[in-house]
Amino acid sequence: MSVAAEKAPKKSWFKGLKAEFKKIIWPDKKSLTKQTIAVVLSSLALGIIIKVLDVIMTYGIDALMKL
């Protein structure tokens, strides 16, 4: 089998892509806003947790180095 026979024509690829985009269920504005807020707050919380752990470990390592 040749490589050219395995590839689909571009027109059918774009038709398939268009058909797939029609299947997408886009969220409404209210749902999108809630989900965006949840992601931002989760990211901030995780960033704060990582920073706190970093500060604690830095002070711990500094204390061990001074011994």
pLDDT in tens, 5-63: 566 567 788 888 999 999 999 999 999 999 999 999 999 999 999 999 999 999 999 99
For residue 60, give its domain range: 3-66
pLDDT at site 5: 56
Element (H, E) at 66: helix 29-66
pLDDT at site 67: 83
Domain count, the chain: 1
What SS3 state is found at 18? Answer: helix
CA distance 17 to 4: 20
- Does pTM surpass 0.75? no
